[in-house]
Structure 1
Amino acid sequence: MRSSVAFVIGLCAVLLAPAPTIATVSIVDLLSSSPDFTLLVRVLQRTGLIPVLNMARNITFFAPSDEVLQNLPTELDIPTLLQYMIITDPIVAENMTENEAVYFSYLRAPVAPDVPLPLKVQRVSSRQPDISDDEKVQLVIGSGAAKVVKHDWVADNGVIQVVDAMVPLPDSLCDAVAGSVINGDMHLFSQLFVMHPVICYLLQYAQDTATLIVPVDSAFDILNDVELSYLMVAEGHDDRLRFVGSHFLYSSIYRQNDTLGSGINVPSMSGAIVSVKKSERGIIVNDHIEAVQSDVVFQNGVIHTLPSFLTPWAFFEFSPRKYLFGLNATQFTNELLFHGYGSALDDTNRVQTIFAPVDATGADIPLSANALEYHFTDSLIDTLNGSTVLPSRLSLASLDGHRQHIQLTVDENAEVWVNGKSKVLRAPIRIGNTAVIPIDRALILPPSLRFAAGSVFEARMTLQIFQSLGFFDDDAMKGLTIFFPVDSAWEELGSVGKFMLSGSGSKLVKQLLCSLMLTEPVYSSDFSSGKSTEFETRAGMRVSIKSHNRKRSIEYNIGNIQSVVALESIDLLFDGGVVHTISSIPIPECIKITPRQLLHAEHITSFVGLLESSSLAQDVLADDSQYIILAPKDSALAVSNITTATVGLATQMGLHILRQRSTLDGSFLSGLSSYDSLVSGVHITVLSELSDDMYALRIVSDDALSESIHPIRVLSRGASTSGAEIYIVDRVLPLSALTGKEVPAWWQARGVLVALGASGGILAMVLIGLLWLLIIYRGGKRWGHRQSLGGNDKSFVRFRRSFSGSGRSIIIDANGSDEEEDEDDEVDGEGTPLLGRTASGRLGSRVNVEDFGDIDEDAEEVELPSRSNEHGSV
């Protein structure tokens, strides 16, 4: 049917042609004269094309030989293809003025019946030196589908060009562009084109032709990946259609059109006017864009490819809204538009940064207006160089009207996180004065103070204090900066911390913590280097703060108290402000802590009582005291048998009280200064630190012209607000330190202590060994002797012969009764101090000889029966 219709149309074209002259040799005659075209002539006869060829004038027939026809697939529509190869213009290779041109065949386009199908013919010059001049010019038709193997076989009514293949029919314009989606240099434009099938529908419906001016893929380099992605998504429909339409021209425009010499103006589908004119190699569009390839012909149109867009970058009017769609933050953007953020998303002049959660985690997209506003800042973030905090656009009542901040941190893998949970997916993308930062999930507003502080594992003690003081449930905790002491900060306070954390200091600890709360949020970025900024605390005091030596520390000045406080964790956000953890605690002037309170917190009662008995407490423990107090713990005083009845108690106590120097060269334990004790002429210096908290004290007595060295361990320490220093020590400084006994020079002190310790250890080991040998040696004899007396092991004690001056007492040696000790049984030697409990069998106990009857006073050792009470005790 198609071939019949084509034949009728072709016949009409021939009949309407100018009246022919009588041809002596026609195209059919030439074909019939050659044995190479027997099959072709037969096909022409069967399809009714012989009359067309005979009656036509000035045509060109691209004739396939019989060999070509014999090798064609049987499913091809050969009559239609033969009509496509009959051109209405004579083509002589030598006479072609252009290297390529588009001609029209007798066949009409199936998609546009009123339009003859175009066929592109190219003239190629061969550079092979061994061929004749006649063979150096070669024709190629159908964009290289067939070559002319015999040129310019001229008949009276036209020209025969013998080809080596049949030329297939071209695709329709839309099919061709759709095919370019997966191949060729038109891939990107084709993707955009096929997303608008309405264009092809209109073209087919109008049964007209068109021209596509297609930018090659490299032309899209003018767009970044976000802008290109926007053109590919559904939300980019309108811009994409305008862009494709601006490259779609009504009617077919070929390079050899006569009107292209001076140029023509053609309207595009989008309404823009496109100028086209001819150049030496192809066409030029809009006066400066020369085509990469011209005249790629199709059934109902033609394509010219360009190295750039017909439209400038500003044509797209890119905005933050379009960038958000291009980043696949569609759900977030739609929520913003629903809540009335359209103006903020379309204003490229507005300085802002948008943290945009992408759709992959759509379940996390916030719904409230507050949560959405938290994703905006009023500053432009071009780069992410490090950790910082910056204010969001969200103002909250819980912050007392201040803006909630956003925290950016960089982990060890150089990945950036927002508020510790949302990961930044790429560097900021800028459009105008707006930057967009894509994140993997929506930002969550900071939690309450209870949960924010709960993440600070090193500050458990402060958390417990906050809980006990009810700070977590205090509605007034709004718009604050809280300096949160870590556990080691309380430990560093020593006795002061123990007192404040006791029941007696609860009011003071609340006042202290309130002095560490500023009544406005202050972030690490607000700490100015070299310049102090004043703030008010929740305790009603004024403080000044500045960063210290560009390190993670600040100078925290409360009144006359100046402290350098190291910052541990910074910018922990909560719904009412920000938390910074600190490693030390500055004590404000308004908090008064006395020496007596510190000693009470350390449970030092005996020492305080002895100070009172020696009339020193009123001065030493006064609220404005500035003494250095070496306070032995109660057990140390008990071991040393220091009581109110001790002779020289005032001297003993005065040895533990040191006067502060008017000019301090360091703390007492630093050993840089010598301090005067309350004992006249006695000075004490820390000679060296032997180990952790163990120090060697040098005590110098001017009166006795002597000095002695005493090791002492500092168990705890603290300072009152008046300046008194309290050191809790593990032993009592002896009065013997005030005697005239010589001691090694100060530089030998440590060596002496070590030597004494080593010697004592060796001697103890030797004595223990000898003792065990003696017990083993005497064991057999003792057993036999006791059995002869009818007694047992527990009824005898062994004594070493060592009589007192009166000759009536002896000292118990190594062995004694194993019976239960009678706490009330004590025997004093005559005129001799009591060395230990008697009748217990302990080494060194002194007893009366008469109590055991007659003994041999010349014997080195004697073995006596014990005086046993009813319990068997001596």
Structure 2
Amino acid sequence: MRTLSLLAIAICARSVVAAQSPFTLGYADQVYSDVRLDQYNVEPYETTSKEVSSYASTIVSTLSSSPYHTTFLHLLQRAKCIPMLAHIDYATVFAPTDQAWKEWAERNTPDLSISNVDRGDSVNGWLGPEGLDEWLRDEEEVILSRVAVSGDEDLERKIMDNQNWALRQHLLYHMFNYTLPLSSFLPSEVSNVTLQTTLLYPLEKQPPLSPVPEPGAPWLPHGGEGLLGGHGQRLRIARVGSTEGGKNGKVGVEWDGEGGAEIWDGKGWAKGNDSASEVPGARWVRNGVVVGIDGVLDAPPSIEQLISTHPSLSYLSSILSLSSPPKPLPSSFSSTPHLTVFAPSDEAFMERFDDIEKEYLEGPYGEEGVGRIVSQSVILGKDGKGVVWSDTLGKNDSQFNAVSGEHLEVSSSSPSMVTVNNTSSSIPDVLASNGVIHILPSLLLPPSFNLLNSAEKILLSLNATQFVSLMRSANLSEKYIGENSEGGYTILAPTDDVLDVLDKWDVPSAQSAGRMPRTLSDISKKPSFPDPSPLSALLQYHILPRRLLPTDLVDGQLLSTELQTSSLKGARQRLRVEVAEKDGKKGKGKARSGWETVGEGEVRFGGATVLGKPVKSGNNVIYLISSLLSPPDTVLQTAVSDLQLSTFIAALYASDLAKTTKRLAATTYFIPRNPAFTDLGLAMEWLLTADGKDDLRKVVKYHMVEGIIYSEDVDSGKTIYKTIEGGDVVIERAKRPHGHGPDILTIGSPTKWPSHDSGSSLPSNGELFPANVTHPDSLTDTGVIHTIDQVVLPSDVNLTVGKLIKGSKQLTMSDLMVRAGLGWILEGREPSKQEVQKAELEGRVKSWDEDGDEDEGKEDDIAHPAYIVLCPSDKAFSKLNLTYYISTPPALRSLLMLHIIPSSSLPLSSSLSSTTPPQNGQPLALYDDSIYKTLLSNSSKYGDLAFRRTGDGSWIVGIKDARGEERVRGDSARVGMAGRASVRWKYPRKDAALDLEDDGDEQDRKHQDGRDRLWEGGMTLGGGVMMIDSVLIPYEPSWFSRWGLLTITLVGISILILAAAGSIGYWFWRGRKDEYMPILVEEDGEPEGEEHA
């Protein structure tokens, strides 16, 4: 009864379908071929009417009679496939058993217990959470139960219709529209795995139903060719008894016979139809063949799904954005129809690309490279070519064009083998819903292919992606690191690890202040050179304008960068490179020769260490560095960072030049260290006073040179440069003695100055020794700073004795000198005749109007000797009876002249040579036991001063030959701060000065020292001031000191004379007494003498 009812349904359905969609499948007496026949099947796919007529059963009746295929039959009914099968004259149907459907449903039914699974979710578009149970029920019953839950009948009927269509698509993959003969299942000497064409024409979604039945077969896609270019989906069959197919054979296998569903053993077929004992699971019937299988065939997924899941394509899947493929790839690998992909395997990528290239492909910007690689291997099914399965190819090459435009030659020399441009596939014919994939062991790339064809791509592969992003943001990528870049750059790139620690890319803000206009006048002025943006400036400082390999790097070298600003007048900002030996020691001037060891911390750019080996990119070379490079700071910021330059910074602010300094473009600064300013002594004290501001401005500006002068750019010998002050300076480069170490750089005053000429060798400021550059090339945003060891004074700064005393703030001495008529010494000029007479210095100092008649009434051009003034402090004068001295001019003049030393005075005795010049800032050359004459020396025996060094390094000055208790009578004082006055200019003249002594000076002139050289060269030392802590009082010896020795001598002589006279008188008296003999008279007898006789 069941069989009859099904047969009736089939007959009715066939008539309905025939009325709705008439089509022609072929006739019994002709060979039917819906697709191209398999070229490797020796037996053609033929079914004649004579063979079919021997079978009375049909496909539907055979299935109906089998108790093991009820589920399949129910699904055919729900999908409305029964009429189609009844209408087909030649078909092949692979019928999964009930057990196969059960197991398949258990594996694939969505689990409602999973949180992300919805009731509407389904597998293959039709199997929902309820599993197969609802598909074994009546359709109307299922719809009503669904409506009871949702309440929307129209929606439920639409969903059911879509599910029925999806089920129909699934079942069509189990059917051919031709009958496979027995020979197609039996082993073959050619190929035991064959490709067949199913009735499934894959579509992305169900097409809209036309109100009028469309012509053609009901399984064909409506309104197009489907996703396979008008072809049905392919299915592999492994022959019975073969190695690939096993005992019973398999259906839906891979190219090598793996996987698939085994053909059923046929034990459940109804008896009476043993059409093929060699294939027990198959039954040939009147309209085709039914093959029972022990598994459900799943239609191939899309190419997108295959790439993401195939084990041999895991690397491709990891680098290819399948959801939005890069250009020129198709927009989708799941919906783009009839694609052929020659997919490179994981091994292909590993063999072709190195670590750097793979880093680029795997990075966030590698999609461009992935697109260029994969586009060489993708064929769009157009121009009638369709999908390139292996069985559609012949042994001769077929010509195809890849998406990239490259020409591909594809052939198939043997079954299951595809060759592309002489590369054979390792896995052919990986079937997909929208095409086919052939997996290749190597990449299809032209010989000229270069993945990292720009520095940008190499940077991306080197973990410098944020640096690349910054370059793109600043619109610098194309010029410096893009594909169209001319190249020839050295790129210093900080890694992402470095930039990650910064404040979310707040890099430019740190530099922006230095690039913004500082004043309203700056805003109104248009810079002569356009400044880059803060971000561009920062990045250009990381790019060097030429390709520098490690062998080109020299320690201490200043490398030009691409940063050019108006602050440098368009010049390139520099960057210092440091090269160390392997033991970490620096080698000044040594080059780096080992490419392999560069990344071991031996090379540093601007303080940033090079990480790893450099990478070449065409004409570029890339160094990864450990930190972000900041362009140099302003002059003030750079100088402030060195505590030894703080005095110069204070001088800038004191002279109101700080703001001006910031705006001076392309300027070189020679900044003295703090000890150099200390050496100026009282001169510096004067410069820091309110009255000395003009002189201070001259001094400060004299250390600013127009233009940018790097130490390496200074030529050997002497070169003259113009300063901001207006004067010139001389910079000299000289070799060190014996050639050891770097060259010596010095800066000093030139020999010529406006209206003055000091000859061919002497500096115009009178300093015999120039300043040495101790630390060169501290970079700033407007130029460079060189640190020097002494202050270079401009020749037009007139430092007088009066200014030095004023700088000491001890003014009593200057007041007394003015009272005594010595104010011309304070002013640093020659005295008039009246001033000489008033000071009673006739014969010792020549006045300016004694030189000739032609200069009457004007200042003399001949500079008489200047003077060094020993200036006691005001406190010292407070201990003196100034009233007496003020009221007694001769005593005051003597007092002051004892404190004044002519600069032409030579030391009378010393343990050292008199040619030793004074120390920096000192007006006198001091050494132990040196003696100098004063203005009092001609009129007083005690007018000379002697200097002696104490144990603590200080000096004591005292009156030579003075006697008395030390520091009580004012005959000695301790020397304090000193200062040197400016030199005084003159024209050469024989009688330039009068000698202080008649005899001694003639011999002294034979031993000329620096002062004599200055005098003969056109100038004389300008004198100076030496502070002392007590007043030297002219020495007047006591009466005893004057006559005591003579008195003692005379008294002694007198005593000696008296003693001698007494001795002589006594001797004469004694001798005279010995001339008389006494006469003896004997009484009463003879003398005693006679008796003896």
| Superposition TM-score tier, normalisation by shorter sequence | 0.5 to 0.7
In the alignment, structure 1 residue 252 sits paired with structure 2 residue 387? yes
In the alignment, structure 1 residue 663 sits paired with structure 2 residue 663? no
Q: Deviations over 1:715-768 (max 9, x none)?
A: 4223334455643233457889999xxxxxxxxxxxxxxxxxxxxxxxxxxxxx
Q: Deviations over 1:21-53 (max 9, x none)?
A: 648999999999999973137745984789979
Q: Say which of 253, 259, 263 aligns to 1:141.
A: 253
In 2, the alpha carbon distance for the partners of 1:631 and 1:266 equals 105
Question: Could you say which residue in structure 2 is the equivalent of 1:295?
Answer: 429
Matches within 5 A, 1:396-415: 401-403=569-571, 405=573
Alpha carbons 1:27, 1:158 under 8 Å: kept: no
Alpha carbons 2:615, 2:622 under 8 Å: kept: yes
Alpha carbons of structure 1 residues 347 and 590: separation in structure 2 relative to 1, 3 Å = farther
Alpha carbons of structure 1 residues 300 and 624: separation in structure 2 relative to 1, 3 Å = farther
Q: Deviations over 1:553-573 (max 9, x none)?
A: 942233344111434982222
TM-superposed deviation, 1:371: 1.8
Question: Could you say which residue in structure 2 is the equivalent of 1:72?
Answer: 104
Q: Deviations over 1:247-289 (max 9, x none)?
A: 2113333445551x444332223332112345899544322x4
Q: Deviations over 1:693-731 (max 9, x none)?
A: x63659797899999999975542233344556432334
Q: TM-score, normalized by length of structure 2?
A: 0.50
Alpha carbons of structure 1 residues 544 and 14: separation in structure 2 relative to 1, 3 Å = farther
In the alignment, structure 1 residue 371 sits paired with structure 2 residue 516? no
In the alignment, structure 1 residue 275 sits paired with structure 2 residue 395? no
Question: Could you say which residue in structure 2 is the equivalent of 1:676?
Answer: 931
Residue type of the alignment partner of 1:286: N
* Matched-pair identity in %: 16
TM-superposed deviation, 1:210: 3.2
TM-superposed deviation, 1:19: 0.8
In 1, the alpha carbon distance for the partners of 2:606 and 2:277 equals 86
Q: Say which of 85, 103, 117 aligns to 2:233.
A: 117
Indicate the SS of the match to 2:875.
helix
Alpha carbons of structure 1 residues 313 and 152: separation in structure 2 relative to 1, 3 Å = farther
Alpha carbons 2:657, 2:697 under 8 Å: kept: no
Matches within 5 A, 1:474-493: 477-485=664-672, 489-493=676-680
Residue type of the alignment partner of 1:405: Q
Question: Could you say which residue in structure 2 is the equivalent of 1:754?
Answer: none
Q: Say which of 558, 566, 581 aligns to 2:774.
A: 566
In 1, the alpha carbon distance for the partners of 2:873 and 2:453 equals 78
Question: Could you say which residue in structure 1 is the equivalent of 2:1026?
Answer: 727
Q: Say which of 805, 808, 814 aligns to 1:602.
A: 808
Alpha carbons of structure 1 residues 163 and 231: separation in structure 2 relative to 1, 3 Å = farther
Matches within 5 A, 1:295-444: 295-306=429-440, 307-311=442-446, 314=449, 318-319=453-454, 333=472, 336=475, 347-352=484-489, 370-371=531-532, 376=540, 379-380=545-546, 401-403=569-571, 405=573, 431-433=617-619
In the alignment, structure 1 residue 587 sits paired with structure 2 residue 793? yes
Alpha carbons of structure 1 residues 51 and 649: separation in structure 2 relative to 1, 3 Å = closer
Alpha carbons of structure 1 residues 567 and 342: separation in structure 2 relative to 1, 3 Å = closer
Alpha carbons of structure 1 residues 65 and 634: separation in structure 2 relative to 1, 3 Å = same
Question: Could you say which residue in structure 2 is the equivalent of 1:799?
Answer: none
Alpha carbons 1:14, 1:56 under 8 Å: kept: yes
Question: Could you say which residue in structure 2 is the equivalent of 1:718?
Answer: 979
Residue type of the alignment partner of 1:599: I
Alpha carbons of structure 1 residues 579 and 647: separation in structure 2 relative to 1, 3 Å = closer
Indicate the SS of the match to 1:482.
strand
In 1, the alpha carbon distance for the partners of 2:926 and 2:50 equals 133
TM-superposed deviation, 1:298: 0.7
In 2, the alpha carbon distance for the partners of 1:733 and 1:264 equals 118
Question: Could you say which residue in structure 2 is the equivalent of 1:519?
Answer: 706
In the alignment, structure 1 residue 286 sits paired with structure 2 residue 416? no
Q: Deviations over 1:676-699 (max 9, x none)?
A: 233789885654542xxx636597
Q: Say which of 945, 951, 954 aligns to 1:695.
A: 954
Q: Deviations over 1:416-455 (max 9, x none)?
A: 99999x9999999875445789999999999998898899
Residue type of the alignment partner of 1:72: W
Indicate the SS of the match to 2:573.
strand
Alpha carbons 1:351, 1:434 under 8 Å: kept: yes
Residue type of the alignment partner of 1:371: P
Higher relative strand content? 1
In the alignment, structure 1 residue 104 sits paired with structure 2 residue 169? no
In 2, the alpha carbon distance for the partners of 1:9 and 1:265 equals 38
Alpha carbons 1:138, 1:147 under 8 Å: kept: yes
For structure 1, which segment, 699-708 or 672-681, has the greater mean C-alpha deviation from structure 2 after superposition? 699-708
Residue type of the alignment partner of 1:38: P
Alpha carbons of structure 1 residues 42 and 337: separation in structure 2 relative to 1, 3 Å = closer
In the alignment, structure 1 residue 186 sits paired with structure 2 residue 392? no
Q: Say which of 42, 64, 67 aligns to 1:38.
A: 67
Q: Say which of 557, 561, 585 aligns to 2:748.
A: 557
Alpha carbons 2:635, 2:661 under 8 Å: kept: no
Residue type of the alignment partner of 1:515: Y
Indicate the SS of the match to 2:296.
coil
Alpha carbons 2:173, 2:200 under 8 Å: kept: yes
Alpha carbons 1:324, 1:333 under 8 Å: kept: no
Q: Say which of 631, 635, 640 aligns to 2:875.
A: 635
Question: Could you say which residue in structure 2 is the equivalent of 1:841?
Answer: none
TM-superposed deviation, 1:543: 1.8
Indicate the SS of the match to 1:512.
helix
Indicate the SS of the match to 1:71.
helix
In the alignment, structure 1 residue 84 sits paired with structure 2 residue 179? no
Indicate the SS of the match to 1:302.
strand
For structure 1, which segment, 488-497 or 26-35, has the greater mean C-alpha deviation from structure 2 after superposition? 26-35
In 2, the alpha carbon distance for the partners of 1:227 and 1:666 equals 72
Alpha carbons 2:327, 2:371 under 8 Å: kept: no
Structure 2 residue runs of 5 or longer lacking an equivalent are: 1-8, 33-45, 110-126, 133-165, 204-225, 268-273, 282-291, 517-528, 579-600, 751-762, 764-768, 823-838, 848-861, 908-912, 984-1020, 1039-1093
In the alignment, structure 1 residue 265 sits paired with structure 2 residue 399? yes
Alpha carbons 1:214, 1:303 under 8 Å: kept: no
TM-superposed deviation, 1:516: 1.5
Matches within 5 A, 1:813-828: none
For structure 1, which segment, 663-672 or 299-308, has the greater mean C-alpha deviation from structure 2 after superposition? 663-672
In 1, the alpha carbon distance for the partners of 2:446 and 2:629 equals 38
Question: Could you say which residue in structure 2 is the equivalent of 1:535?
Answer: 721
Indicate the SS of the match to 2:445.
coil
Alpha carbons of structure 1 residues 572 and 362: separation in structure 2 relative to 1, 3 Å = closer
In 1, the alpha carbon distance for the partners of 2:946 and 2:167 equals 123
TM-superposed deviation, 1:597: 3.9
- Structure of larger gyration radius: 2
TM-superposed deviation, 1:523: 4.1
Alpha carbons 1:714, 1:727 under 8 Å: kept: yes
Alpha carbons of structure 1 residues 486 and 647: separation in structure 2 relative to 1, 3 Å = closer
In 1, the alpha carbon distance for the partners of 2:1032 and 2:54 equals 143
